Structure 1
Amino acid sequence: MATNGRFFTIGLVTSWYSSNIGVLLLNKYLLSNYGFKYPIFLTMCHMTACSLLSYVAIAWLKMVPMQTIRSRVQFFKISALSLVFCVSVVFGNISLRFLPVSFNQAIGATTPFFTAVFAYLMTLKKEAWLTYFTLVPVVTGVVIASGGEPSFHLFGFLMCIAATAARALKSVLQGILLSSEGEKLNSMNLLLYMAPIAVVFLLPATLIMEKNVVGITIALARDDFRIVWYLLFNSALAYFVNLTNFLVTKHTSALTLQVLGNAKGAVAVVVSILIFKNPVSVTGMLGYSLTVCGVILYSEAKKRSK
C-alpha cells in the first residue's frame, strides 16, 4: 500500500510538471515560433476549456463536492479575482511572444517579492526582517539575468513583470476577499466560477484588439489543420495544469509543494533551452540561479517565522 501510494504521488508530480512545462512550451511555440500572434484569443481558449472541463470534473465526475456561490457580494469578489487572473495570463502569454521561456521563468520566480509587497500595502501584514532580506537575491538575480540576456526585449520584459505582479495580486486578493469560512472555495470550484467570467471579460477584448481572429484561425486551419489540434490540446492542457496542481496540493505537504514548485521552474528552463535552443549567457544563468536560491531562502524563512 505504501509503495502504491508512493508511485501515485510520483505520477501526480510527473503529471503536474509535464502539464505545466508542456503548456508553457506550447504557448511559446504557438505565439512565437508558429506565428499565431493572438495571446488574448489563446487565453480565451484556455478559459473556455477550463469552464467546460471544470463542470465535467465537478458536476459529472464528482471529483470534489460542488460549492455554490452564496451571495451577490461573493460573486463580485470572484469576478474581481477573475479579472486580475485574466490580466496575469494574457500578459504572460504576450511576454512569450518576445522573450525566451528561460528568461520568462526567471522573471516569474520573483512572485514572492510582489506577494510580500502587495500583502504589506493591502493588509499592512509585516514579515520578519529575515524574510524581507531573502527577497534581495530574488530581485538582484533578475537584474543580473536581464543584463546578461541575449534575447532581452523591453516590452516583453515589462509584460512579464506585469503578469508576475498580477499573479501575486490575485493570491493576496484571494486571501482577503474569500477569507470568511462561508466564502472559501477550493481551487477547483474557484476555477469553475472564475473561468466563465474570464471568458466574458476576454471575448470583447479579443474582438476589439484581435480583429477577425476567428476568420484568420479558420483560414490557417484550411492551410494547416494542425493549428486546430494545437489549440485544442493546449486548452485541455491549461485545465490539466489546474487539476494536477490541486491534486498535488491535496496529496503532498505545503513544504513539498514549495520545493517542487521551485524545482519546476529550473526544469522548465533546461527543457526550453534544449527544445528552442535560445542563446543563454553565463551571466543570465548565474542571475537566474541567484533568484532561485533567493526563493528557496524566502520559503525557508517564511516557514520558520510561522
Structure 2
Amino acid sequence: MASAPEPTNGLPFTIVLVTTWYSCNIGLLLLNKYLLSNYGFSYPIFLTMCHMTACSLLSYASVAWLKVVPLQIVRSRVQLLKIAALSLVFCFSVVGGNISLKFLPVSFNQAVGCDDAVLHRRVRVFHGDEARDLDHVSHSRSGRRRRHDRQPGGEPSFHLFGFIMCISATAARALKSVLQGILLSSEGEKLNSINLLLYMAPIAVIFLLPATIIMEPNVLAITVTLAREDKKIICYLLFNSSMAYFVNLTNFLVTKHTSALTLQVLGNAKGAVAVVISILIFRNPVSLTGMLGYALTVFGVVLYSESKKRSK
C-alpha cells in the first residue's frame, strides 16, 4: 500500500522543487554526454564509480547530519545480502547504460530506455513509487556518439553493439525494480530510498573498483594528466558526481511533497524533454522515422501507465 503524500509547502515551493528535479536529471544527462563524448573522457565505469562515491558520502551527510530522513539500520545479514544483490544488478544496469551510450546518441538511448516501463510490473515499495528513485541515476547516464553510415529509413546513429547493451541495461533496471519489491517489501525490512542509497552506494563502489581496474586500468593516471593540462576536469567530475546524488534526493523530495502519481507523469514527460534538448544541443542526426518512433514510444509508455493505474 502506497503511503499518502505529506502536505506540501505550497504551490511555489512545489514548482521550484519540480524544476530543480528536472534540472538535475537533464543536467546530469547532458554533462555526462559532454564528458564522455565532447570532452573525450571516455571512461564510463570510472565515472559511475565517482557517482557512487559521491552518493555514499552525501547520503551519509543527508541522513546522519542533515536529518533529511531518520537513519534505518540494516536488521540482519540476510537483509545486507539482499541489498548487495540489488547493488550488483544496479551496477550492471549503470555500466551497461554507460557502455551503450559510447555508441548511441542520448535521444536514441532515452527512447529505448522508456521501454523498461513495459518490461516489468511496477512494484510499489519504500513509500509508494520511491523504489524508482535509484533508477534515475542509471537513466541519466550518457556517452560518446559515433557517426555511422545512414541506412534508408533507419536510425542514422544506430550501432548494433550499443543497442544490445542499451537493451541489456534497460532489462537490468527492470530486474532491479522487481528485486526491490520481492526482496525488501516485507514489513520488517522496509527502507526508504535515501537509506537504501546509503547502503547500496558503498557496495556499488566495491563492485565497480575491480571493474575499473580491469577494464579501465590507466584511468587514474590519465585523469591526473588531464587535470594538469586542464584543471576544469576536476570541477566537472566533482560537480557531475554531486549531481548524481541530487538526482536521487530531489526525486525523493518530489515524491514526498506531491505524490507517486505526479512523479510518474512528470517522469514520462522528462524523457521527452531530455530527447528534445539533447538533439538541440548535440545535434545528433535524427530521421523522420526516428522522430516518429520516439513519439510513439513515449505515447505508448503513457498509455501503458494509464492502463496499469486503471486496472488497480
TM-score (norm 2): 0.86
CA deviation profile, 1:98-128 (whole Å, cap 9, x unmatched): 1111101000000112224x98xxxxxxxxx
Alignment map for 1:36-51 (pairs within 5 Å): 36-51=41-56
| Cα distance between partner residues in 1 of 2:87 and 2:52 | 10
**Residue 229 (structure 1) aligned with residue 245 (structure 2):** no
**Residue 209 (structure 1) aligned with residue 215 (structure 2):** yes
Matching residue within 296, 299, 304 for 1:290: 296
SS in 2 for 1:182: helix
- Structure with the larger helix share: 1
User: CA separation of 1:252/1:202 partners in 2, compared to 1, >3 Å: closer, same or farther?
Assistant: same
Task: Say whether the 8 Å CA contact 1:88–1:167 is kept in structure 2.
Answer: yes
SS in 1 for 2:101: helix
Task: Say whether the 8 Å CA contact 1:27–1:96 is kept in structure 2.
Answer: no
SS in 2 for 1:193: helix
The number of residue pairs the alignment matches comes to: 278
Counterpart amino acid of 1:205? A
**Residue 28 (structure 1) aligned with residue 33 (structure 2):** yes
**Residue 80 (structure 1) aligned with residue 88 (structure 2):** no
Deviation at 1:253, TM superposition (A): 1.8
Deviation at 1:147, TM superposition (A): 5.9
| Cα distance between partner residues in 1 of 2:221 and 2:61 | 29
**Residue 265 (structure 1) aligned with residue 280 (structure 2):** no
Alignment map for 1:1-306 (pairs within 5 Å): 5-116=10-121, 148-306=154-312
User: CA separation of 1:298/1:99 partners in 2, compared to 1, >3 Å: closer, same or farther?
Assistant: same
| Cα distance between partner residues in 2 of 1:49 and 1:104 | 25
Task: Say whether the 8 Å CA contact 2:153–2:287 is kept in structure 1.
Answer: no
Identity of aligned residues (%): 79
Task: Show the counterpart of 2:128.
Answer: none
Task: Say whether the 8 Å CA contact 1:32–1:98 is kept in structure 2.
Answer: no
Counterpart amino acid of 1:206? T
Structural RMSD (CA): 1.7
| Cα distance between partner residues in 1 of 2:116 and 2:51 | 22
Counterpart amino acid of 1:236? S
Task: Say whether the 8 Å CA contact 2:8–2:257 is kept in structure 1.
Answer: no
Task: Show the counterpart of 2:138.
Answer: none
| Cα distance between partner residues in 1 of 2:19 and 2:11 | 12
| Cα distance between partner residues in 2 of 1:156 and 1:172 | 24
Counterpart amino acid of 1:267? V
| Cα distance between partner residues in 2 of 1:237 and 1:91 | 20
Task: Say whether the 8 Å CA contact 2:118–2:304 is kept in structure 1.
Answer: no
| Cα distance between partner residues in 2 of 1:147 and 1:156 | 19
CA deviation profile, 1:129-185 (whole Å, cap 9, x unmatched): xxxxxxxxxxxxxxxxx9631111111111111111111110000000001111110
| Cα distance between partner residues in 2 of 1:164 and 1:151 | 19
Counterpart amino acid of 1:42? L
SS in 1 for 2:40: coil
Task: Say whether the 8 Å CA contact 1:27–1:93 is kept in structure 2.
Answer: no
Gaps of 5+ in 1: 120-145
TM-score (norm 1): 0.88
Deviation at 1:4, TM superposition (A): 5.8
